[in-house]
Structure 1
Amino acid sequence: MASTPEVRGNAVRTTWLLGGSGPKQSVTFSGGDPKARMNLILAAKALAEAKNHCITRDEVYAALQNKGEETPSRVPTLKQWLPEWRRMRLEAGDVLEHTLLCNERTLVAHALPFLGHLRLTDIDRDQLRAWVSWLKKRPATYGKKNRREAPPLAGSTVRNYYETLSACLATAVPLWLPVNPALALPGERKNYVGLPPESDFDGMFLEPWEADAILAQCSPELRDVVFVALRTGARVGELVALECKDVLFPRTGGAVVQVRRTVKHDGTIGSPKTKLSSRDITVAGEAAAILARLVRGHRPGQRVFRTARGVAWHVGSLRESHWHRAVAAAMRCPDHMPPAPVKPAHGVVRGLRPDEVSFCGCEGVLRRRPRIHDLRHTHASALLESGMSPKKVQLRLGHSSYQITMRIYAHVLDNGRREELDALERFLTEAPLLKLAG
């Protein structure tokens, strides 16, 4: 690899070994605009690496001498690079097309407004620091329109956006960039751009009485989804996309849910999140009976979970309308209901909004507002507390790695039961005595 450009006064130089191990070659540009010099040396470095260093210094000069000041204009801006980046990743085949599309949308919404006009060679550490500072003040958005006052982006969100941009810039090395400016150099602290610290897990684990309180407020069709979600730990998109042919009923009893597809963010049906997300989930008890009832008498390609009108659930409608409504109803105390809406001059009285709940603290009234995804967290925490190994939980949930499971649920694990600690104490006490007796 050609050396990182060396700045010496008003000159900049890069060197390489001919053919990778032959005589040393060097190219130097001096005078003129500093940015133009740097762009020329970066073009020379990229050319040498593209030829696998099988190019002499004179050939590099000859290739660049007719371009002169036009070389900087050949470097694409971040906005121009995004489509090429997505194309290169698709050809590599290591990322799903839907994931790349979501990443591109993230950069269009949160990186291009600040960095999109800059050429790749102009995105340096100072620009990245300024962008991160801008992101930390940027408000979160809800849905297609940000109608409410929103807090700033969460720290984990800012870090995800930065990692997405870093992956985009990494693809431009060595074609346009000598190194990825979003990565720390060896021996340098990693967080040199001022990223917010990693936030603690913000999921919610429901107590049994809390889950029962929500189930009691669900319509029959919604209750089927919520109950099976609590017993399987499947993502809501995976349950909504489930077809009758994906549910098997072994002779030994129970059921097996084959997760092979999911609902994407844009509403389309596609492959699960990762390879390990394609999995089989065993089900027993009432959840298996619910699945048998929903599958019975329907064609293999029909959806398992359907609304009262017999059509497939829409994930957004299920979450925003039905789930939030059931949670709000569980947060209202019959003896301390929130104030009734005022009757308008014309029309009918509106119903209670999801944010209009009771604050009495009576027993049996839900005091927290869980997300529907927290049903998955509740399932996982219940498995770990019941003694299932974290590795089995990882495979059941479809996490891409064991580390993800441990990062999310490590605090649920028992750090040592009393009988286990007693056994440790006996071992440490008896071992020295046995040694002396011997």
Structure 2
Amino acid sequence: MTDKRTRRRGKGGLSRYKTAAGERWRWRLYVPIDVEHPEQGEKRIGKAGFSTMSDAEDSMQAAVSERRQTGTVQTNDLVTFGDYARTWLDGRRLASTTLIGYEKKLNAHIYPNIGTVPLNRITAARLAKLYRDLERSGRADKGHEGEGLGPNSVRKVHTIISSVLQAAVDEGLLQRNVARSKTANPPTMTEIEAAKDEINPWTVDELQAFTTWAADNDDLAALWFTAAHTGLRRGELLALRWGDIDLARKTLSVRRAVVVVKTRPERLEVKKPKSGHTRVVDLDEATIITLKKWRSTLAQVNIAFTARNANVFGRLDDNGTRHPDNVSRRWRSAVDRCARYCVERQQTPPHEISLHDVRHTHATLMLQAGVHPKVVQERLGHSTITITLNLYSHVLPTVQREAVAAFERLLETA
């Protein structure tokens, strides 16, 4: 006859508990230590962390059903996606900015939806539903809660999920990676490309109007001018040191970049450029003159600000690294003031663009001038020429027409 204690154990049960994050549910269940040797007794298994009683009960009933059919419960059922993902992330060697990006997506989009689901109960259909839900109302950032998440962001969520599941496959916890199934249906690269904002570069006249105005009206004119004439990224410009610039040879070496690490509190970090390696950018005479004047200005503030290890565009009080977001705000203010200046003088103002669009302006104007895309790729630091061609495909038809016209003139001359 089975004693009361065994019967009580055999039923298992649900319980509620409190955490710093709020109320949670757990379940407990007893299964044989060894199905083939019941005399060895039972062991208690369970799972905690469920946000609702319903989720906990569904999970427990699945375990009860499996115990009824097989006499035990597979351990894999007890490993949730969230638990495994946290272990997986802790073992990754990632740059701090990448790690924070992963954690942000896991916390905002993945854990709340499939964090408590056992690894081996993740299905392609469940993932497809998750992606569609995110596209409809996935945003969680302040001021945009409940809005749809863009296809590129949803694709990044999919990439993280797929990486976690693949690691589980490699460890033998899963038979296959369901995220790689067609049924999972994440956003395609075509959809991502179609959703991208169009590049918004300035014309030659707009660029010249702004740099002419800035030279007399903005103390960061040298920074704006260098950005427009080199195509460097914001972080690369702010990490430049005088030792990176060879004014005699008219070259600039991109060796590092400043990035914002969104911790609490956030911090600035200097790391390798996005491409991972140093690149050398040739400078035109106008940029050389601008940098020489800027260096002379800095020398009047503090001669130490012109040393080889000093920041080219550091803060004027201590030469410390400028915050990238502050520089972007300064840019928007400068463009707005330039526009008002032009309107007051009944001149056509440059249209509003972001600081990153200055990089696009540099690339677009070079391609329109007939510069080979490979050269543009090297100046911008793109890892492949495909990236350059895809980004600036809007310029290529014009370049092709000009190339055909040049070829036609060549034949006529011959």
Question: What is the TM-score normalised by the length of structure 1?
Answer: 0.65
Is 1:400 aligned to residue 372 of structure 2? no
Unaligned runs of 5+ in 1: 1-32, 41-64, 338-361, 427-438
Is 1:247 aligned to residue 245 of structure 2? yes
Match of 1:330 among 335, 338, 346: 338
CA deviation string 1:74-120 (max 9, x = no partner): 52x33323343234442xxxx64532332332222222222222232
Whole-angstrom CA distance in 1 between matches of 2:224 and 2:156: 29
Query: How many angstroms does 1:373 deviate by?
Result: 0.5
Q: 1:230 aligns to what?
A: 228
Whole-angstrom CA distance in 2 between matches of 1:37 and 1:179: 25
Q: 1:118 aligns to what?
A: 117
Whole-angstrom CA distance in 2 between matches of 1:259 and 1:392: 15
Whole-angstrom CA distance in 2 between matches of 1:389 and 1:131: 43
Q: Percent identity?
A: 26
Q: 1:344 aligns to what?
A: none
SS in 1 for 2:274: coil
Whole-angstrom CA distance in 2 between matches of 1:39 and 1:230: 65
Whole-angstrom CA distance in 1 between matches of 2:282 and 2:100: 33
Whole-angstrom CA distance in 2 between matches of 1:221 and 1:182: 51
SS in 2 for 1:265: strand
Distance 1:110 1:199, change over 3 A: same
278-287 or 201-210: bigger deviation = 201-210
Name the Cα RMSD after superposition. 3.5
Distance 1:122 1:222, change over 3 A: farther
Q: 1:158 aligns to what?
A: 154
Q: 1:347 aligns to what?
A: none
Q: Which amino acid aligns with 1:226?
A: W
Whole-angstrom CA distance in 2 between matches of 1:149 and 1:110: 12
Unaligned runs of 5+ in 2: 1-59, 262-267, 297-302
CA contact (8 A) 1:129 1:194 kept: no
Distance 1:227 1:156, change over 3 A: same
Query: How many angstroms does 1:182 deviate by?
Result: 1.7
Is 1:72 aligned to residue 76 of structure 2? yes
SS in 1 for 2:282: strand
Whole-angstrom CA distance in 1 between matches of 2:337 and 2:105: 35
Q: 1:220 aligns to what?
A: 218
Q: 1:86 aligns to what?
A: 89
Q: 1:101 aligns to what?
A: 100
Distance 1:96 1:335, change over 3 A: closer
Aligned length: 327
289-298 or 197-206: bigger deviation = 289-298
Query: How many angstroms does 1:139 deviate by?
Result: 6.1
CA deviation string 1:350-379 (max 9, x = no partner): xxxxxxxxxxxx75123x431110111111
Q: 2:275 aligns to what?
A: 274
Distance 1:249 1:83, change over 3 A: farther
Query: How many angstroms does 1:305 deviate by?
Result: 0.3
SS in 1 for 2:191: coil
Q: 2:185 aligns to what?
A: 192
Distance 1:264 1:151, change over 3 A: same
CA contact (8 A) 1:248 1:257 kept: yes
Q: Which amino acid aligns with 1:419?
A: A
Q: 1:288 aligns to what?
A: 288
Whole-angstrom CA distance in 1 between matches of 2:270 and 2:324: 11
CA contact (8 A) 1:39 1:71 kept: no
Distance 1:149 1:178, change over 3 A: closer
Distance 1:334 1:242, change over 3 A: closer
Whole-angstrom CA distance in 2 between matches of 1:182 and 1:372: 37
Map residues 19-98 of structure 1 onto 2, 5 A cutoff: 68-69=72-73, 71-75=75-79, 77-90=80-93, 96-98=95-97
SS in 2 for 1:300: coil
Query: How many angstroms does 1:231 deviate by?
Result: 0.7
Distance 1:178 1:324, change over 3 A: same
Is 1:364 aligned to residue 359 of structure 2? no
Question: What is the TM-score normalised by the length of structure 2?
Answer: 0.68
CA contact (8 A) 1:239 1:305 kept: yes
